[in-house]
Amino acid sequence: MSFSLDNICYTWITIPILLITTFVIYFKWKYTYWEKHNVPFIQPQIPFGNLENSFKRKTPPCIEAKNFYHEFKSKGAKHGGIYSFGTPVYIPIDLDYIKNILSTDFQYFTERGRYYNEKDDPLSAHLFNIGGKRWRSLRTKLTPTFTSGKMKTMFLTLLECGKILQNAVEESYAKTKPVEIRNFAWKFTTDVIGSCVFGIECNSFANQYADFPKYGKMLLKGSPWEAARMAFIFSFPNLAKSLGIRRFDKRATDFFTNIVKDTVEYRESNNVRRNDFMQILIDLKNTPTVDVEGDGEALTMEQLTAQCAIFFIGGFDTSAAAISFSMYEMARNHEIQQKVRDEINEIMVRYDGKLTYDGLTELKYMQQVIDETLRKYPSLTILNRQCVETYKIPNSDVTIEKGTQILIPLMGLHSDPDYYPDPDRFDPERFSPENKKARNSFSYLPFGNGPRNCIAMRFGIMQVKTGLCMLLKNYKYSINPNTKEPLELDMGVMCCAKDGIWLDVAKI
């Protein structure tokens, strides 16, 4: 009896010791990767690698990535390697390396290496996540969705949503209440995307369809658990897939799947057609289109739903962030604000006092303000790629192996004083035609670059410009003391102010 007790104790002590030793040896071995590949690296810690402990996180991931960039850059490195848990991640710093990855040698980097799980989490199999031939075929099918003709027809919907936004500002002004611009922008873009993608009038300001913004937030929220889950998924995608781990919350998935199903059924059985993304997707579902890959297959209902999800995720938060940060910077700098307002009025006079799609494209100074906003606050703070075929970096002895994750930290690039002197200063003149021409275009990537850039860049800009016109035409803004400065950023990978941005409103 005593012998077997001893045995049990012995087993209980040796098994954990063996497990911990194996674990440590495994990570130590993993952490030799960049040294062996002759790539400069930052010393990792077991088990998080170079990432901050997800459960005690104090630094938003976008700032963490920015710090990696500056650390490598300050050492004069053209690139560097870090570890996400045990997974090596390659960070290009040199603009030629970045250009090669995104554009010139794109065929080696066609994937984002993002996790998706079509079986357990059908919403995750969307254009942003998928790769290879399926991505190329879908991208070709969806590209015509964003032609100027289609943008023009959707502009009318944007104007309708813009009027609701304007009424909300008027209401706050009448009650002498400050506006929380992040929330206002967010409601405006939710209305736009709800209408253009799902064909639903959300009227977020009146709080009908209150579930819509709620579930939208759920698709994006960055809780500590969420951050840990994402880090796990990023580091062990195959294990995550076999464990059936979901990228999206089940409740949000069910909510959006049901909305899409109901809308498609309603339109098809009542022969209703609208000028929106949903209609284009329904047409793609019902009409097989032959593309460059020779894929004549129509979109399935699951694929349609997943594309609605990415149009929603990609469409509302990115543009809302751009609107709210632009407004924040303009509330701090009244001269810039007035210059934008003057330009809006000038263009409107030219178009019979109306805001038109063509007029919007002529707002050149406003475009510079948006460009500068997206430099300081790129909505998506990181670009990802995955190497799909072993690649030798030109004029170097370094090889990037197939399967390697690539990370391009936009906040690092955009705050590099070599490209943007005094980077914390908000200065739209950086984007005057002459200054833009004088700079390497790969130092500015708010919409990415190359064949996998943002498919909806023009729609995003149209949405931001419409929102800004509606906000600035009749009102002046200044910072309300409720705004905590300097602004702190949210813990997600999206660039978003953590606390509210409160602005006082005055009439012109």
In the set 81, 446, 467, 492, which binds ligand HEM (CB under 6 A)? 446
In the set 340, 454, 470, 472, which binds ligand HEM (CB under 6 A)? 454
Span near ligand HEM by CB under 6 A; candidates 93-101, 219-227, 295-303, 375-383: 375-383
Instruction: Rank residues 44 and 448 by Cβ distance to ligand HEM and give the closer one.
Output: 448
- Residue 383, judged by CB atoms within 10 A of its CB (0-12, 13-18, 19+), counts as buried
252 binds ligand HEM (CB under 6 A): no
Chain centre distance of CA 226: 16
Going from the C-alpha of 290 to that of each of 284, 287, 397, the distances in angstroms are 11, 10, 42
In the set 95, 380, 494, 503, which binds ligand HEM (CB under 6 A)? 380
Alpha-carbon distance of 33 to 39, in angstroms, equals: 9
Q: Quick one: which of 131, 420, 184, 165 has its CA closest to 321?
A: 184
- Is there a binding annotation on residue 496? no
Residue 313: both structure tokens together: 């995720």
Span near ligand HEM by CB under 6 A; candidates 233-241, 280-288, 340-348, 446-454: 446-454
Alpha-carbon distance of 50 to 227, in angstroms, equals: 15
464 binds ligand HEM (CB under 6 A): yes
Instruction: Rank residues 91 and 505 by Cβ distance to ligand HEM and give the closer one.
Output: 91
Q: Taken in order 222, 161, 351, 343, is the CA torsion positive or negative?
A: negative
Total Cβ atoms within 10 A of residue 486: 6
Span near ligand HEM by CB under 6 A; candidates 54-62, 88-96, 339-347, 442-450: 442-450
Backbone angles phi, psi at 379, to 5 degrees: -55, -50
Alpha-carbon distance of 337 to 215, in angstroms, equals: 34
Instruction: Rank residues 105 and 504 by Cβ distance to ligand HEM and give the closer one.
Output: 105
Per-residue mark of binding to ligand HEM, 111-150 (x: CB under 6 A): ----------------xx----------x-----------
CB 464 to ligand HEM: min, Å: 6
Instruction: Rank residues 456 and 468 by Cβ distance to ligand HEM and give the closer one.
Output: 456
Q: How many residues bind ligand HEM (CB under 6 A)?
A: 26
Q: Quick one: which of 211, 189, 432, 171 has its CA closest to 322?
A: 189
In the set 60, 162, 315, 412, which binds ligand HEM (CB under 6 A)? 315
The DSSP bridge pattern shows strands 87-92 and 405-409 to be parallel
Which residues contribute to the annotated binding site for heme? 454
What is the contact surface with ligand HEM in residues (CB under 6 A)?
Answer: 127-128, 139, 310-311, 314-315, 318-319, 322, 374, 379-380, 383, 446-449, 452-456, 459-460, 464
